[in-house]
Amino acid sequence: MKIICSKTELMNSVNIVLKAVPTKSTMPILECVIIEVKDEHIKLIANDMELGIETLVKGDILETGTIAINAKVFSEIVRKLPDSDVTIETDSNYLATIISGKSKFAISGRSGEEFPYLPKIEKKDAVVLSQFTLKEVIRQTVFSISDNESNKIMTGELFEIKGNELKVVSLDGHRISIRKINLKDSYNDIKVIVPGKTLIEVSKILSGEFSDEVSMFFTDKHILFEFNNTIVLSRLIEGEYYKINQMLSSDYETKITINKKELLNSIDRATLLIKETEKKPIIVKIEEKKMELKMNSTIGSMDDEIDITKEGKDILIGFNPKFLIEALRVIDDEDIDIYLINPKAPCFIRDKEESYIYLILPVNFNAAVQ
């Protein structure tokens, strides 16, 4: 095998496939990146058995072949090469010679025969949307997946397609995030659970441009994302997702409209008084035309006030400030509507069209000491 490509092109492609390389594995071959040169393509491949990525590299092919090289070593070498063309050549003993400018490396590789290549997926009925839209939907939901591996379902997101609507849901037992978007075309019903890890890595690779598209393909066990000469294939999480509709009440006793930035800044200020080991709630008191926010901790206390528009009853309620901040940060609206029922029921942040819904459970607090 012998190829020549620019350092920039090679580095970009290496960074993409690295996302599917495990840091440690009982199978050393999985810690490798495959360089496969055939059919007039230079392809890099990585696979950790849950997530697999293939991407093409622009370059000149002088000789075809395949080699597996330790991904960490290879990526560090490429990163530190001079900014010029890179020549990679292998011999029959899987010794890879990497030359750029006056720098030359020779590293031992191995045959790619043991490598678990990505399974072939029948690509039919592609669900197409802009890379910007998919990147935004992931950003606006993935923060509320659970990191507790003992409950696998909560570590993923529900992708549900009905007609021309895509609904994405995440939850961790304390909150629910929902985004709905309209697709250009209508599709058969789809309901799958996509690992949060996959979505985080896909989001990092997506360009985020309106004009760039991404195609999603679904099977019983896999989801495949195809964009920019890259394929990301992931196993789905098996099981039934939670029935969230019964948690989504349209009833409310109090509705407020508030400037999102003012509320976010106020809660952000309150967190200055919380040590990492503390779990202190922010206390929200809603009265006519104003919201009072209070924080008491071992460091000190804060009182703040924001003008609001209110319908319904006054209420005193406590929240985990982190949950409010993470929801508010991903909402793009200038003013938001918050719906509340009582101090023990969840609050809802949602727009009129319900294109986004954020449910946050309150926390108990002793009102007498506030």
Identify the CA nearest to 3 among candidates 31, 28, 47, 35. Answer: 35
Between CA 15 and CA 53 the distance in angstroms is: 11
Residue appearing with tokens 């009440």: 249
Between CA 261 and CA 267 the distance in angstroms is: 10
Count: domains in the chain: 3
Range of the domain at 352: 248-369
Domain-ending residue, one of 108, 141, 156:
108
Which run of H or of E encompasses 46? strand 41-47
Report the CATH number at residue 65.
3.10.150.10
**Higher pLDDT among residues 245 and 55, named by residue:** 55
Are residue 236 and residue 256 in the same domain, yes or no?
no
Domain-ending residue, one of 213, 245, 277:
245
User: Token pair of 31, please?
Assistant: 């810690």
**pLDDT single digits (tens) 322-344:** 999 999 999 999 999 999 999 99
- Give the percent of the chain with pLDDT over 90: 92
Task: Specify the pTM.
Answer: 0.93
Identify the CA nearest to 267 among candidates 298, 295, 288. Answer: 295
| Strand order across the 2-6 sheet | 60-63, 2-6, 85-90, 95-100, 103-108
Examine the pLDDT at 181 and tell me if it is beyond 70.
yes
Q: 38-41 — which CB contacts under 8 Å span 24+ positions? A: 38/64, 38/65, 38/66
Are residue 76 and residue 154 in the same domain, yes or no?
no
Does the residue 151 lie in any domain?
Answer: yes
Are residue 239 and residue 252 in the same domain, yes or no?
no
pLDDT for res 75: 98
Are residue 319 and residue 351 in the same domain, yes or no?
yes
Predicted confidence band of residue 24 (pLDDT cuts 50, 70, 90) = confident
Are residue 206 and residue 170 in the same domain, yes or no?
yes
Beta bridge partners of 192: 159
**241-265 burial by CB neighbour count: b if 16+ within 10 A, else e?**
beeeeeeeeeebebbbebebeebbe
Give the number of other Cβ atoms within 10 Å of residue 179's Cβ. Answer: 22
Between CA 292 and CA 370 the distance in angstroms is: 12
pLDDT for res 369: 46
- Which range is least confidently modeled, 22-26, 104-108, 203-207? 22-26
Between CA 89 and CA 32 the distance in angstroms is: 17
Are residue 227 and residue 316 in the same domain, yes or no?
no
pLDDT for res 149: 87
Does the residue 286 lie in any domain?
Answer: yes
Beta bridge partners of 213: 130
**pLDDT single digits (tens) 60-105:** 999 999 999 999 999 999 999 999 999 999 999 999 999 999 999 9
Predicted confidence band of residue 362 (pLDDT cuts 50, 70, 90) = very high
User: Token pair of 108, please?
Assistant: 């031992």
Domain-ending residue, one of 182, 215, 245:
245
CB burial of residue 111 (10 Å; 0-12, 13-18, 19+): exposed
